[in-house]
């Protein structure tokens, strides 16, 4: 298999076979990860504000008759939203970039309410006060609470289940498979609509049978996020990430936010040769095109000051591998990867870089898999 750029450059590549809080465990509706969340407010003009999130949360609490026992904080450390404990206080953390999609897509209102109701359910049912993060039984309890809540707010069963229908079929060690989650959501929805559905604690049900998807080989010091990508849900990891500086975050999720004004930046000394990004899909996936914006493309000045990726080595779970060479400009560079089918994971390793005029940090602004 060969990779080709849709530009004069052709890739002739043989594919062979404020202070930070202490680290927290954040469990979103899709998975768990260790994060460092800033308590300070850094909301941008185009982001969902904390007050707007509270308006959604208050709608959810209004039909439950319960008072909030948590605070709301925004952060780019989580992929969407998560119920977390920070310095012994309960927080509902949300990603303003992810939440912004619901301002741009009003038809997805019920998916927004579903995510927030699920996370609120974790707090109200006491899941976050126990150690160990998510477990399939507690996830199903939060799903059932979300189904009950959305029914009370007027959503149809179809609208209520829309979010869960977009998930991968298989589960994980922390989250149950899609079928069981849809059943839990329906159970909650039917209970609110008056159906004779027993409110049996989910934790007493038989443990789910989980088919684990193969993940990319783990890297020393890696940090990971569970994100909703163009091709579906995936676990994305980086072998290192530069820490936040003031209001600027260099989280790996920046590569998938559709905004070239943000970037992932590697976090080791030098220009990052050998640093790696992996994407592990929740279900077998075919990648037909790979689009990359190398460097920190926020402006031409910032682009030139920081190092940029010149060459990457791609490996895939189907034993294909090869090199990708990038031109030194901040435009989107597209590569044909039609031979990458039925994948569990891919990895991209930085092989060489273009030097920055001021900094040695190497950045990637966007990575789009299609």
Query: Structural domain boundaries of the chain?
Result: 24-204, 223-369
Rounded to a whole number of angstroms, the distance between the first and last alpha carbons of the chain is 17
Name which CATH class applies to 223-369: mainly beta
Find all residues with CB under 8 Å of 92, minimum gap 6, and list them.
53, 57, 70, 71, 72, 73, 81, 82, 83, 84, 116, 119, 120, 123
pLDDT band at 119 (very low <50, low <70, confident <90, very high): confident
Report the pLDDT averaged over residues 235-242. Answer: 90
**Distance between CA atoms of 189 and 148, rounded to whole angstroms?**
4
Task: Identify the pLDDT of residue 28.
Answer: 60
**How much of the chain exceeds pLDDT 90, in percent?**
36
Phi and psi angles of residue 143, each rounded to the nearest 5 degrees, phi first:
-65, -45
90 has which bridge partners?
85
* Least confident range of 119-133, 170-184, 258-272, 308-322: 119-133
**Distance between CA atoms of 350 and 241, rounded to whole angstroms?**
13
Picking from 145, 19, 20, 121, the residue whose alpha carbon sits closest to that of residue 70 is: 121
**Higher model confidence: residue 344 or residue 20?**
344
Phi and psi angles of residue 37, each rounded to the nearest 5 degrees, phi first:
-105, 130
Beta strand ranges found along the chain (DSSP E): 24-27, 32-35, 71-74, 81-86, 89-94, 223-229, 232-238, 264-265, 276-294, 307-316, 321-325, 333-354, 362-369
pLDDT of 361 over the 60 cut = yes
pLDDT band at 109 (very low <50, low <70, confident <90, very high): confident
Identical topology for domains 24-204 and 223-369: no
Task: Identify the pLDDT of residue 290.
Answer: 92
Task: Identify the pLDDT of residue 42.
Answer: 35
**Higher model confidence: residue 178 or residue 174?**
178
Q: Are 308 and 362 in contact (CB under 8 A)?
A: yes
pLDDT tens digit string along 20-73?
344 555 556 555 556 565 544 333 334 456 777 888 888 888 887 777 777 887
Tokens representing residue 334 in the block: 């597209």
pLDDT of 339 over the 70 cut = yes
Task: Identify the pLDDT of residue 132.
Answer: 57
**Higher model confidence: residue 275 or residue 13?**
275
Find all residues with CB under 8 Å of 257, minimum gap 6, and list them.
97, 98
Distance set, CA 278 to CA 265, 313, 345, 348 (Å): 15, 12, 7, 6
pLDDT tens digit string along 302-321?
999 999 999 999 999 888 88
Q: Are 284 and 347 in contact (CB under 8 A)?
A: no
**Higher model confidence: residue 261 or residue 20?**
261
pLDDT tens digit string along 182-230?
999 999 999 888 765 555 454 444 444 444 457 777 777 778 888 888 8
pLDDT band at 125 (very low <50, low <70, confident <90, very high): confident
Task: Identify the pLDDT of residue 128.
Answer: 67
Report the pLDDT averaged over residues 16-22. Answer: 38
pTM for the structure as a whole: 0.49
Task: Identify the pLDDT of residue 129.
Answer: 61
DSSP 263-279: -EE--SSTT-TT-EEEE
pLDDT of 7 over the 60 cut = no
Task: Identify the pLDDT of residue 189.
Answer: 93
pLDDT band at 255 (very low <50, low <70, confident <90, very high): very high
The CATH code for residues 24-204 is 3.30.2010.10
Rounded to 10°, the helix 136-152/157-165 angle is: 150
pLDDT tens digit string along 269-278?
999 999 999 9
Task: Identify the pLDDT of residue 49.
Answer: 65
């Amino acid at each position: 298999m060969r990779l080709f750029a849709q530009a004069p450059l052709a890739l002739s590549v043989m594919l062979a076979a404020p202070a930070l809080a202490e680290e927290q465990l954040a469990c979103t509706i899709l998975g768990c990860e260790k994060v460092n969340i800033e308590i300070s407010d850094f909301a941008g003009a185009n982001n969902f504000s904390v007050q707007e999130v509270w308006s959604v949360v208050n709608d959810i609490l209004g039909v439950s008759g319960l008072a909030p026992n948590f605070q709301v904080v925004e952060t780019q450390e989580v992929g969407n939203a998560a119920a977390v404990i920070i310095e012994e206080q309960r927080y509902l953390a949300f990603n303003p970039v992810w939440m912004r999609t619901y301002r741009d897509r009003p038809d997805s209102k019920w998916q927004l309410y579903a995510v927030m109701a699920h996370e609120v359910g974790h707090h109200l049912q006491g899941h976050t006060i126990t150690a160990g993060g998510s477990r399939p039984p507690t996830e199903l309890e939060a799903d059932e609470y979300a189904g009950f809540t959305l029914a009370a707010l007027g959503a149809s069963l179809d609208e209520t289940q829309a979010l869960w229908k977009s998930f991968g079929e298989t589960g994980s060690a922390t989250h149950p498979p899609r079928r069981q989650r849809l059943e839990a959501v329906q159970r909650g929805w039917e209970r609110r609509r008056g159906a004779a559905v027993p409110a049996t604690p989910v934790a007493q049900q038989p443990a789910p049978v989980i088919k684990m998807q193969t993940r990319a080989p783990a890297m020393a010091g890696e940090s990971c996020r569970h994100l909703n990508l163009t091709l579906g849900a995936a676990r994305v990891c980086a072998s290192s990430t530069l820490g936040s500086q003031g209001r600027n975050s260099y989280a790996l999720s920046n590569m998938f936010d559709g905004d070239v004004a943000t970037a992932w930046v590697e976090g080791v000394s030098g220009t990052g040769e050998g640093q790696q990004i992996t994407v592990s899909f929740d279900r077998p996936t075919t990648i037909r095109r790979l689009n990359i914006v190398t460097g920190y493309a926020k402006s031409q000045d910032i682009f030139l000051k920081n190092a940029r990726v010149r060459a990457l080595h791609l490996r895939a779970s189907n034993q294909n591998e090869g090199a990708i060479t990038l031109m030194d400009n901040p435009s989107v560079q597209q590569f044909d990867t039609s031979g990458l089918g039925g994948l569990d994971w891919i990895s991209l390793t930085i092989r060489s870089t273009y030097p920055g005029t001021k900094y040695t940090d190497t950045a990637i602004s966007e990575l789009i898999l299609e």
